[in-house]
A and B are shown apart, each in its own frame.
Chain A
Amino acid sequence: MISLEKRPQPSRLWTAITPIFAVVLTMVVGGLMFALLGVDPIEAVRTIFWDPLFHPQFAGFSRPQLLVKAGPLILIAIGLSIGFRAGIWNIGAEGQYIMGAICGAAAGLAFYPSESILIFPLMILCGALGGFLWAMIPAVLKTRFGTNEILVSLMLVYVAQNILISVSTGLLRNPEGMGFPGSRNFKQWDATHNAEIIAGTGMHWGVVTAFIAVIAAYVLMARHIQGFNIRLSGEAPRAARFAGVNPARIILLCLGISGVLAGMAGLFEVTGPAGQITGNFNAGYGFTAIIVAFLGRLNPFGILLAGLLMALTYIGGELAQLMLSLPGASIQLFQGMLLFFLLATDVFTNYRIRFGKREAA
């Protein structure tokens, strides 16, 4: 008889090793799936996890791409994790990401074709503001009317997507684009181009901001009184109230921070890797970031690693499709397995396995 027994305290050891355990399990089961598809499993796993980093022919390109892909994921996930710690579930980062991109891009495009160095900072500011205001909708509704922020923030994603379609075919459409949807391309406009800071490294301003956000979030959560208040509100809401923590302020603060970060991520993406506002420039980063936040255990440095790991499976997965002709769906399955195993092994953090007969209570 095998039974689960609740640990008095979550195991610190298991918290640390479950992600590694999950990755190994994913490799094994995923490898089995690749073998069934007729591909050498070791080669497949190597293509996904090793080649993007160390392949002599194309690692020079894919390594910087890891940062490009991980940057927005980390930036958004950091914001989300702060709210999640407080028990505030912002599921709509994708919408804040889109609105940040739209507001920031619009602010820049209003000054086309100026080459002033002030434009890009202004765009970042407006991007942050766009995300912030979009996040304030669920925040204010929650504090004022007690609405559920999960539903409101999620629904606002669809609103944001429709606004995105509207502006890419209307307000922000490139007047020289022959009637095709999509804004001007920021890559062809130096003053607004979020280019690599050092060519060939993948380091653009969004990645730098993501790293700063990781450190700032660590300081906030571990060293600052507000971080303590946030954690307390999540872990013991009643105690927090007795300690004089204003729940409405925590809600506004947490949703505000995640909105600002998601909005900035959107702006950096649209002026950098994506290049222009189009109806589908957003590639679901806001949703993937939720996975990254949990994969990283809501810990800033964990999120940094989780974001990089997630980016690795994306880029390695693409390479595996290309080099080994694996179907795209099998790569998605592989990524799904990673999350599944992570959640499944998570049980060992809070429970321990007991072998033998359970004693009568």
Chain B
Amino acid sequence: MLRRTLLASAAVAFGLGGAAFAEEELTAGFIYIGPPGDGGWTYEHDQARQKMEAHFDGRVKTVYQENVPESADAERAITQMALTGADIIFTTSFGYMDPTLAVAEKFPNVKFEHATGYKRADNVTTYSARFYEGRAIQGHIAGKMTKTNKIGYIASIPIPEVIRGINSAYLHAKKVNPDVEFSIIWLYTWFDPAKEADAARALIENGADVVLQHTDSTAPQAAAQEAGGVITFGQASDMGEYAPMPRVSSIIDNWAPYYIERVQAVLDGTWESKDTWDGISTGMVGIGEITDAVPADVKAEALAMKDAIAAGEYHPFTGPINKQDGSVWLAEGEVASDGDLAGLNFYVEGITAEVPN
């Protein structure tokens, strides 16, 4: 009896020792604007979170909070995450910018990573991807494939990132199809499947046979499928369940390598504040498979453009490009600077709508 108890306690002690050995060295937190099941933006961040956790194989614990509004609630959610022991916190929506900075000030020892913003501090890094590179390829395919010459664009919140995407898609559609017209609907939200579906239907009813989206859910894809004869592109995530039609290709945000790199930096003690803006060349922006719904020659051109962008031979914003009012933005052969792109708040010549103001 006694021996048994002893054995048992030894086993317990051993078990505890094992547990202590396997204990995580670091906790990484994530704040999401939507649910991981949105099939788009948040889905990809969550996938990357899981890949990062798997990569560190027990050394890193992750926590997340979903559906955090871009209001005063964000600051509380981030603070609670820091208080409950997160060492590095990724806040994955533009509207978390000021809240992230406010919390970072109170927790100098916690590292913060804010996606798509422009304000940094000693313990706040920013990161984003050059989605406009993918938009150029989408614009090319869209311009080639539209029969009605009407392209619908579901826009979210009028920040430079979204305006860049519209400009890039428009420039490349126009280049291959001078008759193309863009109709842009602003939803002022990142994630609202009902509104996204309504917008897609409205665009399709007005004759658009290509629908581009800068919102997070798959609702526009479903609406396009329902309508038939409309093509779409997966946004933020592959949205491959809608291939080969309506989804003919996609922009895939691949955050996993970045998350692994940054968490590794915290583990190594080499983390420092910086700004990352990567694109197709590093794989942060991926182009999802171009389906057979796209003619072979168009597909080949699109892939050639992708390679040229990846190799740094082609920049989607290369002059001559005029602003909407007709004044010169980029002269012949001139390439837009990152600074210009970061604060981009105007449409290029030819877009008939106005930037919300």
Whether the Cβ atoms of B98 and A276 lie closer than 8 Å is yes
| Residues on the B chain within 8 Å of A275, using CB | 72, 98, 102
State in angstroms the CA–CA spacing of A315 and B35 once bound together: 18
Name the interface residues of A181-220: CB closer than 8 Å to any CB of B.
Answer: 181, 185, 187
| Residues on the A chain within 8 Å of B98, using CB | 185, 187, 275-276
- Which of these, A57, A165, A276, contacts B188 with CB under 8 Å? A165
- Which of these, A169, A178, A283, A321, contacts B72 with CB under 8 Å? A283
| Residues on the B chain within 8 Å of A8, using CB | none
Interface presence of B63 (CB below 8 A): yes
State in angstroms the CA–CA spacing of A235 and B158 once bound together: 49
- Residue from the set A69, A181, A281, A327 with the largest chain B CB neighbour count within 10 Å: A181
Whether the Cβ atoms of B77 and A318 lie closer than 8 Å is yes
State in angstroms the CA–CA spacing of A319 and B76 once bound together: 10
Whether the Cβ atoms of B342 and A178 lie closer than 8 Å is yes
Q: Given that A165-B356, A280-B95 are contacting pairs, would A181 and B158 also be in contact in the complex, using a CB cutoff of 8 Å? A: yes
Give the distance to chain A from B331, nearest Cβ to Cβ, in Å: 22
Whether the Cβ atoms of A315 and B76 lie closer than 8 Å is yes
Q: Given that A185-B98, A323-B84 are contacting pairs, would A179 and B72 also be in contact in the complex, using a CB cutoff of 8 Å? A: no
Name the interface residues of A322-361: CB closer than 8 Å to any CB of B.
Answer: 322-323, 325, 327-329
Whether the Cβ atoms of A178 and B35 lie closer than 8 Å is no
Interface presence of B73 (CB below 8 A): yes
Name the interface residues of B67-95: CB closer than 8 Å to any CB of A.
Answer: 67, 69-73, 75-77, 79-81, 83-84, 94-95
Give the distance to chain B from A36, nearest Cβ to Cβ, in Å: 18
State in angstroms the CA–CA spacing of A126 and B334 once bound together: 49
Q: Given that A178-B160, A318-B77 are contacting pairs, would A329 and B72 also be in contact in the complex, using a CB cutoff of 8 Å? A: no
- Which of these, B64, B189, B344, B357, contacts A280 with CB under 8 Å? B189
Interface presence of A180 (CB below 8 A): yes
Whether the Cβ atoms of B72 and A269 lie closer than 8 Å is yes
State in angstroms the CA–CA spacing of A311 and B226 once bound together: 41
Interface presence of B65 (CB below 8 A): yes
| Residues on the B chain within 8 Å of A325, using CB | 63-64
Give the distance to chain B from A347, nearest Cβ to Cβ, in Å: 33
Q: Given that A62-B80, A319-B80, A322-B81 are contacting pairs, would A273 and B72 also be in contact in the complex, using a CB cutoff of 8 Å? A: yes
State in angstroms the CA–CA spacing of A61 and B82 once bound together: 11
| Residues on the B chain within 8 Å of A269, using CB | 72
Interface, chain A (partner B; CB < 8 A): 57-58, 61-62, 65, 68-69, 165-166, 169-170, 178-181, 185, 187, 269, 272-276, 278-283, 315, 318-319, 321-323, 325, 327-329
